[in-house]
Chains A and B, each alone.
Chain A
């Protein structure tokens, strides 16, 4: 009677397969555990990076779709002042329009008992529900009416310590208004809405809170089927060149453009992580090869045929792979939750990005599949014994013992391949810097090829030294280095890749931070005190000064007050940062960020009116050279300007435009400042000046004062915070690699203890053996690290170049030798520290061990 739960696969029952695996686990528990943890760490890395990659845009996509629902088009304002409400009725009347829903969106801050949070205020009415947004779809809330109070997501509410019914203050455009929290959205079932920095209220209430009565910033349009293009044309007519007509979810395209550099660098990182993860899994499995071969041989002598052996191997690999990958997935989710949870604040002022992680089922399955695949591939080598020309018990008569030795010719061939690849990469990237990401991955592979060759060279050098220097360790080390196995190459490879990734990405990051620091330092250096509506990072939120300007100017320590203006403007696919400099700002454009043109000339041209500086990518897109004319869509229509200079992106990925405040006032038709720049009289300290300005501002709670140093520090912190996750992962990668290398080295040393013990018989003391082992480990590691560092420095140069050429970021290249050495030292220290104990134990192995094979 066959038991359906215990089928026979190729003639072997599943219970028998399980029992055989249990036998293996009992006898080699530690090896299997090591192998499993190698796989788990690999999978965790892969998943962590994949999730990080997807989360940013994923969360935003969810939020945007939650808001716009089924709307196809929108009529959008070009400045935060918005446009008049009467356009709503006009657009609703257009033929082909099914629904027209008004929205007022403004950046505000909500202050509660425990703190304050910047949010995007969304003023809507019930028409937005008929579009299916705001949970209307999920709950059929067609008749919900938005009250005058605030609906806050749970994330915001808990941050400020508010509950339903709590009174809060809304700081908008420099003014403060009181309000109350009516509803707190819990994360399920509201998904993205519940974890995004938004606050929802009825449209009139939002208008009152922001002081923008009668105005809205968007009209969301749902068109009748097939009427979309006609409606679009009509809307453009309505807009009369002053408003943007675009897809309802245009936001996402703009965001995608803004995070592109982030995405691409994370992709490179993901690729390196995948490689390391795979190597970790393979390396871990390689350790188990010798005893698995013996196990297989014994089974074959008991009558298990080849097919059954293959089934057994696959079964074991599948079980181990699945279990270890599952653990890895959990670890990876944890990893991304802890380290990648933070959203770069510099993006949140421009885009509504929530904190929700998207862990899609497909991502998890992909990571699982990678882990199982790696395990399967690595487990197959005992299957090599199944070849027809080999005797069944070949392994018992095998003299190589411990890893497949690489043929001597292979090292040379690989080295040549590596050099050729390197040359090819250098050539291709010199011509096409856009391929740097791919090139960086290829570079990682190329440096791996160099490893066997370097092993051979180092062995030769050490042998030369051993001939002349009295040392008991050297000859032992030389012998091991010459026994270059796939395992030792994998070990050094892991170290090399980890160091490569760390140095290349860390170096590029350091360059970027240095560039950004310099850039923002010059940008902010035009004034000693900055007065803003607080909380916004790129000085893009205008406010109503309500007499503050004059009050500040009257303060005794103040020499002058200037009005700075700025904002965001959607041009094509770019959300450009607009900077409007008042006369008196020295310099209006940071000199260090100029790519073409001169600072003095640019300042003069800006002042004269009709000129602006643009960032390089934008100029290239529109084929603009110095002096060329271009047009910007503004709230008053097209503004015709000429290029005064070409700059980097000034720290904002999509690009920046600098013009004079006179031009800004003319085209944006507003005199409201985004910041007040305060100059102090000579001899007045910043602290003293700040005190006076604060007093002058008095009770306007919506305004905040910062000194130049404070604001510069804030910008520096934001830059770092945006790039923080990257450096954390790089560190984690290093640590994981160090531990993996250490454990693999320990296991390899342990497997050699019979041979080590035989040295004892020849008179080596434990101390001598231990020193030899440490030296050998240090050299193997050192080779990997050195190759990784060399490749990493080149990779760093490539990455910085990519940042400058492809993304316009300011990133002056500097080798940073100190950091490279620190990375090497860290890896080496961790690995050696972990090896020290098992190495000592192996060195202490009794000589008996060599008598028992």
Chain B
């Protein structure tokens, strides 16, 4: 069975002030339908890059990213848009700005607009999802007034509203209260199980990722699986190249 998402021999590097940093070094990762994968990595280890590639937001320097066997890089802009609209949902708490005055339900509803629904239908769908996540009381509140915990839940609702098959989350709940954080992850795992959504979650807090089916860690440009029973196959990456100076 083809995995839902698969990264094949993917490499990605960035330029940082004249130096080339290799963030991902020929990595492999498979995510099967309905499976949840946790990626643990320290700060600046490349977790976000990995997730952005998986979600189709960024393109790799080499290698292929396949969704159900189809190469994402070779898709047209419309097909890739459809991918982000219906199949994959990406949640990143850091790359997010509040629009002052926008209510929670509207914030969730606008993400459905690319499907051609009217605002009213979108709001109805949004309310349904908010109910499911027990966040309906804050539906009319302004996004800017939410606590970090409430916001994490709303961003999740926004992603789930599109009924994706793969949910990619980049540090979705870096919350001050450990209890809140654990409750969020429990909710996330429950929803994923019920709706049969594949999860790809990254965090720098290892304890947050407990309970997920597969556990991968990322460091020095490579992915390492810590569970031998995973359906993930990965190769330890080569050591990161010493800082090469390309140009001055």
Contacts and interface: CB of A to CB of B under 8 A. Distances in A.
B118 interface: yes
A16 B118 CA distance: 6
Interface in A254-307: 294, 297-307
Interface string A8-29: 1001110110011001101100
A388 interface: yes
A13 B117 contact: yes
Contact of A391 (B59, B113, B115): B59
A718 interface: no
Nearest to B77: A306
A464 interface: no
A298 B122 contact: no
Which of B99, B114, B118, B122 has the largest number of chain A CB atoms within 10 A? Answer: B114
Nearest to B99: A27
Contact of A16 (B78, B84, B86, B119): B119
Q: From DSSP, what is the main secondary structure of chain A's interface residues? A: helix
A709 interface: no
B97 interface: yes
Interface stretch (B100-108, B128-136, B184-192, B238-246): B100-108
Contacts of A12: 113-114, 116
A26 B102 contact: yes
Contacts of A182: none
B52 A23 contact: no
Given A303-B162, A391-B52, A19 B106 contact: yes
Contacts of B77: 305-307, 388
A804 B95 CA distance: 64
How big is the A interface, by class? 20 to 34
A188 interface: no
A311 to B, nearest CB: 11
B106 A23 contact: yes
A11 B119 contact: no
Given A23-B99, A27-B100, A396-B95, A302 B110 contact: yes
A13 B114 CA distance: 8
A308 interface: yes
B117 A392 contact: no
A11 B95 contact: no
B57 interface: yes
A3 interface: yes
A305 B114 contact: yes
A89 to B, nearest CB: 80
A299 to B, nearest CB: 8
A751 to B, nearest CB: 14
Contact of B113 (A26, A304, A307): A304
Contacts of B52: 391, 393
Interface of B: 52, 55, 57-59, 77-78, 80-82, 84-86, 90, 92, 95-97, 99-102, 106, 110-111, 113-119, 122, 158, 162
22 contacts: A13-B116, A13-B117, A15-B118, A16-B110, A16-B119, A20-B113, A26-B101, A26-B102, A27-B101, A27-B102, A298-B97, A301-B84, A302-B85, A302-B158, A303-B84, A303-B162, A304-B81, A305-B77, A306-B78, A391-B58, A392-B57, A392-B58
Interface of A: 3, 6, 8, 11-13, 15-16, 19-20, 23-24, 26-27, 294, 297-308, 388-389, 391-393, 396
Given A3-B118, A305-B78, 7 more contacts: A12-B116, A20-B113, A26-B101, A298-B96, A300-B81, A308-B114, A393-B57
